[in-house]
């Protein structure tokens, strides 16, 4: 079978032989450590944290200064609770001090960007080893859902935005073949393309479907409404947005497979994933230290909602230490009946991005915009507003680096998705006000005939639910793409 051949021979040859990576070793180790008891895992975290803080103080100028100002040093970290004295990091700090936050030690860095479901685009760096550790975490987490490398996977995901050079297209398609991945672009969901997407699904006969939550739910409803035949995969892995119970039920009914929720972001890749018990999201604990804090930076009691704060224990190239990622989650890390020592994150209450509609009937998932706008570094903040199907307004806070050609390119890219019947207006503003919760609503949809119908029909969305993981994560952020 290709799956076994892939895991035992091809993947090791590629990863270790060709690329000199340690991904598979990290993965093997993670498969063992998930069964350690919680106290051993916490001890592992404490040790890793001490090393990270020492490294940051010694080699990252901005961290050293921040630690000194807060009067903290790694030598005084005796328990994980001591860590509460360390200062928090925001997206703004990273934007302003990206280069000073990097280590001066010679790491080979990878640069990533995120459009930010919080509406603040960001560029950041990570070192190669930490990238390999993240991929290992994703292999493990997807494996809980039967989606380990080598399985035949169909992605219902955001595709490349903008002009992709031919060599890049070719490289992607070779990678996809090698990894047995097929792709359906959820940025291309229109009445006239839906059947084509389903045909692709049925031809592919995937073992596992990996999808953005919202678009897959939309596809499920389309199948149901039109009474279409659809091939049943073994399991479905969803991410990038919060998964509501009514969505899980519909997908399971229509696609005939269990749904596994994941939570991840561009900054850290897989943060948590469900195991076969579906009791919550097991944290990628060997890699990430996750805290849920109130607005004053204090831990919130179990059962209450707070801000998600994450420390990456191994990104030595550019340490993320107590980074407030903009998501909200319910506190209280319980253990899972499956016996793994990794505690569960009960629930992510993220940001749910609305779907926009165009005059010619296309539906554009809100995720499209963070995905596109991350390609424009001069955009500091954005918000997409639709109050009428014939008009979409992009409110933008830009720096002086935003050029006329940026303007033309942005309009052209949006219109390619929306068609010519919907007008696109770029509205340059000095600021975009935050919601009362201190969040930026990235997509505002207030169409005249909007009734929250299909939500209220099944169950109420939790009050204040603004969304899940990060929408702009693309398949290249998942275990897959070598290279
Ligand atoms: Zn479990």
**Domain CATH for 276:** 3.40.50.12780
For 371-425, what is each residue's pLDDT tens digit?
788 778 788 788 899 988 899 999 998 888 899 999 999 999 999 888 888 999 9
In this structure, the answer to whether residues 242 and 379 fall within a common structural domain is no
Query: Which of 445 and 123 is assigned the larger pLDDT?
Result: 123
In this structure, the answer to whether residues 347 and 359 fall within a common structural domain is no
In this structure, the answer to whether residues 221 and 366 fall within a common structural domain is no
Task: Please work out, in degrees rounded to the nearest 5, the angle formed at the alpha carbon of residue 319 by the alpha carbons of 313 and 322.
Answer: 70
For 428-466, what is each residue's pLDDT tens digit?
998 887 665 445 678 888 777 654 333 322 222 222 222
Taking the CA of residue 167 as centre, how many other CA atoms within 13 Å lie in the half-sphere pointing to its CB?
0
CA 281 / ligand 1 centre spacing (Å):
8
Pairing of strands 235-239, 208-212: parallel
Question: Which residues, other chains included, contact 431 with Cβ-Cβ below 8 Å and sequence gap of 6+?
Answer: 381, 397
Beta-sheet strands, E only, within 200-275: 208-212, 235-239, 259-265, 269-273
Please tell me the predicted confidence (pLDDT) of residue 115: 65
CA 74 / ligand 1 centre spacing (Å):
33
CA 33 / ligand 1 centre spacing (Å):
14
Number of domains in the chain: 2
Please tell me the predicted confidence (pLDDT) of residue 162: 58
In this structure, the answer to whether residues 6 and 59 fall within a common structural domain is yes
For 324-375, what is each residue's pLDDT tens digit?
987 888 888 899 999 999 999 988 876 546 778 888 888 787 778 877 887 7
In this structure, the answer to whether residues 326 and 379 fall within a common structural domain is no
What share of the chain has pLDDT > 70, as a percent?
88
Check which CATH number belongs to the domain holding 400 and give it. Answer: 3.30.300.30
For 160-215, what is each residue's pLDDT tens digit?
655 677 777 778 777 777 778 888 888 777 778 899 999 999 999 999 999 988 78
In this structure, the answer to whether residues 135 and 168 fall within a common structural domain is yes
Provide the token pair at 294: 């109130």
In this structure, the answer to whether residues 420 and 471 fall within a common structural domain is no
| pTM for the full predicted model | 0.76
CA 278 / ligand 1 centre spacing (Å):
7
In this structure, the answer to whether residues 239 and 120 fall within a common structural domain is yes
CA 73 / ligand 1 centre spacing (Å):
35
Highest-scoring range by mean pLDDT, 93-97, 136-140, 221-225, 348-352: 136-140
Task: Answer yes or no: are the C-beta atoms of 212 and 219 closer than 8 Å.
Answer: no
In this structure, the answer to whether residues 403 and 256 fall within a common structural domain is no
Measured CA distances, 320 to 67, 88, 115, 141, 397 (Å): 13, 10, 18, 22, 25
CA 379 / ligand 1 centre spacing (Å):
41
In this structure, the answer to whether residues 86 and 112 fall within a common structural domain is yes
CA 38 / ligand 1 centre spacing (Å):
13
CA 438 / ligand 1 centre spacing (Å):
33
In this structure, the answer to whether residues 84 and 116 fall within a common structural domain is yes
In this structure, the answer to whether residues 402 and 308 fall within a common structural domain is no
Range of the domain at 360: 355-456
Average pLDDT, the chain: 85
CA 236 / ligand 1 centre spacing (Å):
17
């Amino acid at each position: 079978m290709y799956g076994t051949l892939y895991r035992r021979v091809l993947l090791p040859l590629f990863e270790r032989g060709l690329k000199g990576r340690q991904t598979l070793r990290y993965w093997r180790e993670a498969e063992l450590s998930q069964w350690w008891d919680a106290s051993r895992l916490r001890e592992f975290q404490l040790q890793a944290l001490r090393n990270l803080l020492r490294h940051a103080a010694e080699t990252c100028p901005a961290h050293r200064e921040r630690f000194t100002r807060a009067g903290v040093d790694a030598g005084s970290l005796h328990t994980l609770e001591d860590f509460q004295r360390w200062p928090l990091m925001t997206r703004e700090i990273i934007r302003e001090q990206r280069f000073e936050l990097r280590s001066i030690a010679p790491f080979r860095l990878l640069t990533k960007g995120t459009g930010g479901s919080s509406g603040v685009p960001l560029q950041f760096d990570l070192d190669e080893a930490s990238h390999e550790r993240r991929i290992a975490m994703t292999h493990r987490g997807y494996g809980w859902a039967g989606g380990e490398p080598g399985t035949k996977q169909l992605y219902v995901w955001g595709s490349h935005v903008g002009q992709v050079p031919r060599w890049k297209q070719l490289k992607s398609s070779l990678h996809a073949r090698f990894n047995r991945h097929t792709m359906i672009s959820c940025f291309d969901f229109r009445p006239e393309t839906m059947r084509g997407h389903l045909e692709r699904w049925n031809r592919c006969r995937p073992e596992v479907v990996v999808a953005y939550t919202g678009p897959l739910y939309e596809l499920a409803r389309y199948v149901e409404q039109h009474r279409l035949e659809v091939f049943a995969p073994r399991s479905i892995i969803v991410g990038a947005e919060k998964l509501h119970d009514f969505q899980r039920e519909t997908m399971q009914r229509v696609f005939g497979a269990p749904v596994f929720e994941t939570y991840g972001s561009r900054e850290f890749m897989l943060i948590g994933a469900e195991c076969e018990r579906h009791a919550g999201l097991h944290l990628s604990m060997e890699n990430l230290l996750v805290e849920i804090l109130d607005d004053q930076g204090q831990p919130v009691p179990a059962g209450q909602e707070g801000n998600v704060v994450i420390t990456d224990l191994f990104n030595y190239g550019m340490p993320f230490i107590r980074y407030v990622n903009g998501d909200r989650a319910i506190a209280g890390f319980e253990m899972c009946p499956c016996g793994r020592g990794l505690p569960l994150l009960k629930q992510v209450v993220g940001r749910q991005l609305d779907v926009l509609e165009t005059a010619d009937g296309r539906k554009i998932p809100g995720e499209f915009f963070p995905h596109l706008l991350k390609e424009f570094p001069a955009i500091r903040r954005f918000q997409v507003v639709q109050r009428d199907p014939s008009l979409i307004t992009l409110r933008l806070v830009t720096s002086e680096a935003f050029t006329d050609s940026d303007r033309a390119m942005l309009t052209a890219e949006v219109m390619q998705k929306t068609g010519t019947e919907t007008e696109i207006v770029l509205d340059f503003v000095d600021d975009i006000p935050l919601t009362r919760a201190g969040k930026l609503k990235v997509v505002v949809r207030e169409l005249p005939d909007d009734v929250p119908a299909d939500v209220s029909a099944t169950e109420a969305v939790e009050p204040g639910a603004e969304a899940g993981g990060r929408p702009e994560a693309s398949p290249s952020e998942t275990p897959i793409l070598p290279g």
